[in-house]
Amino acid sequence: MFSRTVDGREYTFGVSGKLWRNGLVMYDHQTDTLWSGVTGEALQGPLTGKHLTIRAAVPKVRWRDWRAAYPHSQVLTSHGVQDIDEDRYASYHASPQTGLFLPEHINAQLPPKALIMGIRIGEQARAYPLQVFTQAKIVTDHFAGKDLVVYRDAESEASAVYERRVDGQLLSFKPGPMWTLLEDTTTGSTWDIVTGTAVAGPLAGKRLHRVPHHHSYWFAWADFYPHTTLFHAP
């Protein structure tokens, strides 16, 4: 998810039908500049070299779980959209195919279509294989000078990445009683996984700094970020 504002001007976007490194390419209606749907970089046109600001969000949650946790949520939809539960790419997900074009950068540390969560801090990138979260919902990491808590719930498919320092205090976390909650064992505070805000305990009202993350196949992430590092569980 990206902000639509660049240098103080708001843009609207559409799908160009083009691919760059097997990734979606958008265009803006105002200048016809082409933008990467993965990195937010302007690839071609009057705004070449500009970057859209990444906005963090919980990228994938089952509707029933979200509605139970946030019953007053609004839903963005389009007129005429049907079969929203249908995955039109199911055959691709099940196949060994790696996009329409061969990746430019091959990284054999994982199978090409292994699923990962990827983050980028500055010029550094890190991938977290989803298989890491089969044993635990939470891993901690120190990456690019940041102390991180990385969360994924396999049942709800919710995920989030946060810095785990608040006012200089390093916090340790464990899963809460439901997918929307984390508990820090340092202060006993309870945190909302969606907003990063402490909702109970000594730190109530404080907020964790969210790190945007991206779900991807390994081959695609490594193609966009060939110097990425791969998280290995201790």
Of the candidates 14, 233, 13, the one whose C-alpha atom is nearest the C-alpha of residue 131 is 233
CA distance 101 to 21: 7
Show the tokens assigned to 14.
């559409």
> What is the rounded CA–CA span in Å between residue 185 and residue 126?
26
pTM equals 0.81
User: Could you tell me the domains of the chain?
Assistant: 5-44 (no CATH), 115-230 (2.102.10.10)
pLDDT value of position 58: 64
Cβ partners under 8 Å of residue 122, min gap 6: 144
Mean pLDDT in consecutive groups of 10 residues from the start of the chain, 234 residues: 93 92 91 93 96 76 79 74 60 72 77 93 94 93 97 88 96 92 96 92 96 90 93 86
Rg (CA), the chain: 19
Contact residues for 33 (Cβ-Cβ < 8 A; gap 6+): 27, 42, 43, 44, 45, 46, 47, 48, 50
Token couple for 106:
């091959």
Coil, helix or strand at residue 161:
strand
pLDDT at 81: 47
Three-state DSSP class for residue 94: helix
In degrees and rounded to multiples of 5, residue 140 shows phi and psi of -110, 150
Straight-line distance from the first to the last Cα atom of the chain, in angstroms, rounded to the nearest whole number: 31
Sort 219 into a burial class: Cβ within 10 Å, 0-12 / 13-18 / 19+: buried
Q: In angstroms, rounded to a whole number, what is the distance separating the alpha carbons of residues 215 and 231?
A: 15
> Are 29 and 12 within 8 A, CB to CB?
yes
CB atoms < 10 A from the CB of 63, how many? 11
- The reported pLDDT for the residue numbered 79 is 57
